[in-house]
Structure 1
Amino acid sequence: MQPFKMFLRGLALAAVMAPAAAQAENLRVLSSWSDNYAPVTEVLDPFLRKLETESDGALTLTRMGPETIPPFEQLDPVSRGLFDMLFTNGAYHYNDTAVGMALDALSGNAADLREAGIWDFVDQHYQERGLKLIAILYDLNGYHIMLKEPLTGNALEGRKIRGTPIYHAIIESLGGSPVVLPAGEIYPSLERGVVEGASWPTVGAVGFRWYEVADYMMRPTFGQVGHPVFMSLDTWNGLDAATQELISRAAEEYEAEAVENFNRLVAAEEATLEQEGMTVTELGEAHLGKLGAAWYEGAMGLAAQQNPDAIAQMDEMARKAGLTP
């Protein structure tokens, strides 16, 4: 065989054996929160950078926030392909489906959910709604309640506590009365005494400066905060196999990294809150035993009102895998 022909044959063989390059894509990412919510810049953005880096620049991702589409209205435009990806919380689209919200009731990390089959179950559920689950970025530090006054032996008895419906069971189990308010109204409502406390993830009080109008944070925390990342199913199906594999691998790796990012973020947040004068108020022994069960049963019960069959399956899988309180 002539040398030049041998050279061409070698090039062709190398091309066949080389791993396929990621497909060049510019993806628009919708976030349910602005930069005031620290996980946007400290958890989501590193994930987007990881995808860009590991694709050698073939993937570029542009983030947009709730100023583009309001948080509770974002699921539909992403499912219809008007945006490519979504960073959110399941409770934000409860009226469409409650399966994502039920993730916050479970115990364990994303790897545990994958092993139990729950991750794939959730993925399939959302694919039926035009979305592909890419990752579940968990803050295992969970939720807490910020208070104007410290807890007493009667826990929250007689107090009005801001909380969206997912919090209602736990607020009521501690004797409080839930009041539904959007995040933007928490500061003035605490300031004016419309509510005596507010429920929120353990990250957020610093960015929204709630420490100026609340002096205490209840401990222990409860639940865990799921931040699913979805992709429009049309966008996903339009990617080549190499790009799909790259995104799936990077996302699974980053799920573990996200837990550590959240841990660092929460530690820094709590240190800042203490510097700003907020102190811990501990829940008494009489109410401690109610906390985990009240959160799980309340969140799953609320989710079951929307998707009874799917939530029953998730509950069965979670109990079998030991992922319940």
Structure 2
Amino acid sequence: MRAFARSWGLALGIVLAGGVAQAQDAVTLKMVGAWAPGFSPTAEVGKNFMENVNRLGEGKVTINFIGADDVLPPFDQPEALVNGVFDVWYGAPNYWAGVVPGGDITELSPLTVPDGGPGTALYDYMTKIYAAKGVRYIGHAAGDPGEGAHYISTNFPVKSIDDLKGKKLRVAPLTRHFVQAVGAESVTLPPSEIFLAMDRGTVEGFSWPVADAFTRYNWQTVTKYMVNQPMYRSGGSVAMNLDKWDSLSPEVQDILLKAIAETQTFALEWFDKNQKEQEAIMVKDGMEILPIAPEESKRWTEVANDALWAYYEGILGAEGVAEVKALFAAK
């Protein structure tokens, strides 16, 4: 009987030890974002991705959010991800421009899901150019083309693209090329300085993806107009440290890809909802949304896109741009 008890105790110990080993095999990933969830609607891309991973990967992989700009300035975060300071990142696609040349090219995508989603040729292309810089591209989630996009807001009336010439406009890295192409002066400022710059007349307008918390900065109180002409895609991007990705099992990698596919679907309605909410508050607080004539709208889009394509050709070459355009056109 004692021998049986000892054998049973040994067997139970082995089972429990195996259970502990399995629990220890569960992966925990640290995530940092460019903006904190709650304030920024675009931050919900990262939050939604995390929630999807934690649901789909229960017992196998968990993402812990450790902070946003309180942890590290947003423009320093991509390099920190490459260096393995944390494992997962979310933010604006154009934040990668200095680390992965062409890493924000999906801003010009005409596809419903900007990168086509996991399993497509365009997605594989994005994965390849990021991997060359030590990053595992996870995905770009945005609204439908025209929803959640970048807009120009001003304190002077605009009927034509020519009205921007000579004006001082605050830009993001992405919109700098358009602003310079139309003969305006581009001014680089962090979002926290836009209010004061508009209030004092240091700048006469600025670019911003309106769906992303425009009125939470109270910019509508120091801004008269929004030009109703969307540019590019905006939205949120998710990426991982490549070494960390390579250390994951195929099963966990598949969970992450399923999670981003769900997030990309979520984003389509999310940005549409926030665009409408922001515009309603802007108008209520006295801003005017300026319509653009169809012929001028077409011209505006052509100038905006041509300026960005010219930039990408400078870093990817003519053949690289031709490859991306072919991927955009593929069904």
Aligned to 1:121: 125
Residue 156 of structure 2 aligns to a residue in which SS? coil
Give the AA of the match of 2:61: L
Q: Equivalent residue for 1:51? A: 53
**How far apart, in 2, do the equivalents of 1:106 and 1:122 lie?**
12
1:270 corresponds, among 279, 292, 302, to 279
Task: State which of 70, 87, 90 in structure 2 corresponds to 1:67.
Answer: 70
Q: Does 1:191 align with 2:195?
A: no
* TM-score computed with the length of structure 1 as normaliser: 0.83
Match of 1:295 among 304, 310, 330: 304
Q: 1:219, 1:120 → 2: CA distance?
A: 34
Q: 1:157 aligns with which of 165, 181, 199?
A: 165
| In structure 2, C-alpha distance between the alignment counterparts of 1:264 and 1:321, rounded to whole Å | 26
Following TM superposition, by how much is the alpha carbon of 1:250 offset from its aligned partner in structure 2, in angstroms? Answer: 2.2
The alignment's TM-score, normalised by the length of structure 2, stands at: 0.82
Q: Using the TM superposition, give the Cα deviation of residue 85 of structure 1 relative to its aligned residue in structure 2, in angstroms.
A: 0.5
Q: Distance in 2 between the 1:178 and 1:144 partners?
A: 15
Contact 2:46 2:236 in 1 (8 A): no
Question: 1:221 aligned to 224, 230, 234, which one?
Answer: 230
Shift of 1:289: 2.3
CA positional deviation for 1:116:
6.0
1:122-271 equivalent positions in 2, closer than 5 A: 122-139=126-143, 140=145, 141=147, 142-152=149-159, 154-203=162-211, 204-271=213-280
- The equivalences for 1:83-102 within 5 A come to 83-102=86-105
Post-superposition CA distance 1:240-290 (Å, at most 9, x none): 121111111222232122222221122222222222222211234553222
1:2-48 CA-to-partner distances (Å, cap 9, x unmatched) read xxxxxxxxxxxxxxxxxx999522211111123432221x3321221
- Tell me if the contact between 1:23 and 1:239 (Cα under 8 Å) persists in the aligned partners: no
Partner Cα distance (2:124, 2:28) in 1: 26
Distance 2:224 2:114 in 1: 36
Match of 1:282 in 2: 291
Deviations 1:103-162 (A, max 9, x none): 112211337635761211110111121111112112342110111232145432342211
Residue pair 1:23, 1:242 contacting (<8 A) in 2 also: no
SS in 2 for 1:178: strand
SS of the residue corresponding to residue 82 of structure 1 reads: coil
Which AA in structure 2 matches 1:145? I
* Number of residue-to-residue matches in the alignment: 301
**Aligned residues of 1:107 and 1:223 also touching (Cα < 8 A):** no
Structure 2: distance between partners of 1:48 and 1:103: 22
Gap change, CA 1:279 and 1:312, over 3 Å in 2: farther
Secondary structure of the 1:124 match is helix
Deviation at 1:173, TM superposition (A): 4.8
User: Hey, what's the Cα distance between the residues in 2 that align with 1:22 and 1:241?
Assistant: 17
Q: 1:39 aligns with which of 32, 38, 42?
A: 42
Tell me which moved more, 26-35 or 78-87: 26-35
Q: Shift of the alpha carbon at 1:174? A: 4.5
d(CA) in 2 for partners of 1:71, 1:244: 26
Structure 2 SS opposite 1:155: helix
Cα deviation 1:291-313 (Å, max 9, x = unaligned): 222222212222333x324x742
